[in-house]
Amino acid sequence: MTYRTIFKAACIGFALATAVSMLPQPSSAETLKVVKSATSSSLNVPMNRAVVVESETPFAELSIANPAIADISSLSDRTIYVLGKAPGITTLTLLDANGRLITNVDVVVAADVTEFKERLKQILPGEKIEVRTANDGIVLSGSVSSAQRLQRALDLAERYAPERVSNLMTVSGVQQVMLKVRFAEMQRNVRKSLSSSLALNGIENGVTLNGGSGTTNTSGGASNSLGGSIPAVNENAGAMLFGFGVGSVEVGLLIEALENKGVVRTLAEPNLVALSGQEAKFLAGGEYPVPVSQDNGTITVEFKPFGVELDFVPRVVDGDLVNLELKAAVSAIDTSNGYQTEAFTIDAFRRRETSTTVELRDGQSFAIAGLLQDEFVDANGQIPWLGDIPVLGALFRSAEYQRNQSELVVIISAHLVSPTRGEALALPTDRIKPPSEKDLFLFGRVARDESRRLKGAAGEVAKQDFNGSYGYVME
């Protein structure tokens, strides 16, 4: 019986020990000796975490000012178990057996950001972000390499403290973007025409002859042929007149020819610098007044801009990756197309415009727009049947064709730029120096041969031709 009793007691003791070990223990508590006799100290406790505090002096009584912020319990006469419950600051008071004050401890309970810091290092490695707590919120400070990574850190912090995140971070690196836009347009047109006018007038064998073909580009071709004069108003580049008589019949022949060739080259290169996330606008041109009729019958004037226009919003996404939202246009007044009334004339505009959003890295370029047009017009006019006669039929018909070709390309380039000293920048006017009275009146010079000597980088740029790049420092 004795052995059986001892065995049962051992089994019961083992079961009790196992059950006790399985109970929740303050394993996350940390033992900190922060309480000293007759002094006041501070104790930081994470929310929903526990801290074990050891006192150098035995205490007999404990009290906490606000149990909603922290909860306490004594494990012995020297050990205190402190559990953080809600963000805030409260006071822990220790008294001895005689009721005398041992010490007051400021218990600061803040949100637990340990897991947040670990996730932040995993998602954004290498970023110098400092995490602090403020009441029940999170404060982020330090510097990040791009605006996109800054937003990622804020989004992650919102998961741990919704609507209680303070952003004190800054974005390091270059945050200014210079945009270079190039408009290149070529227009080619060719026009050729050949026309003739033949006229007959007279009497032959009692038969009256009076007629002709006026197929030239000018009115009155037949009458001019018989009149022996080239038309005063002549669109063609060349004209030739033949006239002869056959008996009493007069014959007049007017041949007119035209060949036009033209090439138009348009090039515009606006450059503009803006801070990341800020809008920049550029206009080199003017404003054209346009009358506008109002509902009450009055006429007001609105001004329409024309010239080289550039609007863009750059965003440095990550490192040297730039997101560009831009609108660029080149326009000019077109006097050949417009609206005319008895009171005034309104000219039309010829405009090439593009609007898009792209992403590219520092120094890279995009051809964001292109246009290729090829127009061909062919016209042939003749007198029926007579124009189909071989060789002689050319006198009774006119032929004309016109071909217009245009090609437009818009290329953008983005550069991350930094400011520099003012003396390192050069202006186009630095290359030209006004002449003296002697140079102007005696030698007829509109500018001095020698340019004003500049020092440093500005002097080197001033020696170059206008084709060189100047005005910005690009990394």
* Average pLDDT score over the chain: 77
Q: What is the pLDDT of residue 474?
A: 42
Q: How confident is the model at residue 207 (pLDDT cuts 50, 70, 90)?
A: low
Q: Could you tell me the pLDDT band of residue 21, with boundaries at 50, 70 and 90?
A: very low
Of 52 and 421, more confident: 52
% of the chain residues with pLDDT over 90: 5
pLDDT at 402: 86
**Ordered domains of the chain (ranges, CATH):** 41-110 (2.60.40.1380), 113-171 (3.30.70.1770), 189-254 (no CATH), 264-419 (no CATH), 421-466 (no CATH)
Lowest mean pLDDT among 235-244, 268-277, 415-424: 235-244
The pLDDT, as a whole number, for residue 114 is 82
Q: Please list, in sequence order, all residues whose beta carbon lies within 8 angstroms of the beta carbon of residue 115, skipping any fewer than 6 positions away.
A: 160
Residue 255 has pLDDT above 60, yes or no: yes
Of the candidates 12, 55, 54, which has an alpha carbon nearest to the alpha carbon of residue 31? 54
The answer to whether residue 112 scores a pLDDT higher than 60 is yes
> What confidence tier does 231 reach under pLDDT thresholds 50, 70, 90?
low
Q: Is residue 378 predicted with pLDDT exceeding 70?
A: yes
Chain-centroid distance of CA 31 in Å reads 57
Q: What are phi and psi of 409, to 5 degrees?
A: -135, 135
Task: Tell me: pLDDT of 221 over 60.
Answer: no
Query: Bigger pLDDT: 170 or 459?
Result: 170
Q: What is the mean pLDDT of residues 123-144?
A: 84
In sequence order, the 6+-apart residues with CB closer than 8 A to the CB of 447 are 432, 433, 434, 435
What pLDDT is stored for residue 456 in this prediction?
56
pLDDT over 60 (residue 416): yes
pLDDT of residue 152: 87
139-143, 280-284, 409-413, 417-421: lowest mean pLDDT where?
Answer: 417-421
How large is the average pLDDT for residues 295-306?
Answer: 86
Residue 470 in this model has a pLDDT that exceeds 50: no
Residues 435-468 as b/e (b if ≥16 CB within 10 A, e otherwise) read beeebeeeeeeeeeeeeeebeebbbebbeeeeee
Q: pLDDT tens digits for 177-203?
A: 889 888 888 888 888 887 777 776 766
**4: pLDDT strictly greater than 70:** no
Q: Check pLDDT > 80 for residue 465.
A: no
Residue 269 CA to chain centroid, in angstroms?
16
Confidence of residue 311 (pLDDT cuts 50, 70, 90): very high
**Mean pLDDT, rounded, for 275-303:** 86
pTM (two decimals): 0.56
List CB contacts of 253: < 8 A, sequence separation 6 or more: 196, 197, 198, 199, 225, 241, 242, 243, 395
Question: pLDDT class for 126, splitting at 50, 70, 90?
Answer: confident
CA angle 124, 126, 131 (to 5 degrees): 65
Average pLDDT for 244-266: 75
**pLDDT tier, 449 (very low <50, low <70, confident <90, very high otherwise):** low
Q: What is the mean pLDDT of residues 238-261?
A: 72
Q: Of the given ranges (27-41, 96-110, 405-419), which has the lowest mean pLDDT?
A: 27-41
Amino acid 473: pLDDT: 42
pLDDT at 78 over 60: yes
Token look-up 């009774």 returns 396
